[in-house]
A and B are shown apart, each in its own frame.
Chain A
């Protein structure tokens, strides 16, 4: 089973709201990723967690706050977003930690976020 799940599928939020995106995998993978994809553009990396520790923050604004409560779950907490943050947010996982080489990544179906 190579399934990564994401909830919700769609989210509309105002600029003063606080919301969270959720990502789960039950493949025993030890690295998890958040990517952001704007319309007609490729995905861009936001955060990487390896063994539940933050490995990379690609200079993402603090209104995006990631959290990895356990090895199967990755959250992205959203607060005071701007309309330009509207995008498809993709979660991915890979089998090994990021210090153990490079491995295939598996993506979830994404959350389509609209900020009004």
Chain B
């Protein structure tokens, strides 16, 4: 089956720093989503980005489908950015099943 690998697994930042999270996938995908899971467990949709670049405030994402990777950029990080960031992909004919990477655990310190 498809492999979804995220790096780094853990990241510690000082408030105000920038970071880049990476998601590699081993096969062609129909769609890709980035989520932030807060400490209470809520999965928050960040981006729905099968290809191209999108920006939302301090966050932006780029997916290069032909090279099978996606990047999530966090600029001017805040303590509220702490949590786990997941990328998840869906396959063609896969009943819209989301296949998650293992996540990047981010801690932002004041």
Contact = CB atoms under 8 A, between A and B. Distances in A.
Contact of A109 (B41, B101, B102): B41
Given A42-B86, A112-B41, A102 B102 contact: no
B41 A43 contact: no
B79 to A, nearest CB: 21
Given A42-B86, A42-B101, A102-B31, A50 B42 contact: no
A45 B45 contact: no
A107 B43 contact: yes
A103 B96 contact: yes
Nearest to B97: A45
Interface string A87-100: 01010101000100
Interface residues of B, number: 23
**For chain A, what secondary structure do more than half of its interface residues adopt (helix, strand, loop), or is it mixed?**
strand
Interface in A75-116: 88, 90, 92, 94, 98, 101-107, 109-110, 112
Give the size category of A's interface with B: 20 to 34
Contacts of A102: 30-31, 90, 92, 94, 96
Contact of B33 (A2, A44, A105): A105
A31 B41 contact: no
B44 to A, nearest CB: 8
B42 A106 contact: no
A102 B42 CA distance: 22
Interface in A54-70: 55-56
Nearest to A37: B41
Nearest to A99: B95
Interface in B29-54: 30-31, 33, 35, 40-43, 45, 48
A25 to B, nearest CB: 14
A104 B33 CA distance: 7
Nearest to B43: A107
Interface of A: 2, 31, 33, 35, 37, 41-45, 48, 50, 55-56, 88, 90, 92, 94, 98, 101-107, 109-110, 112
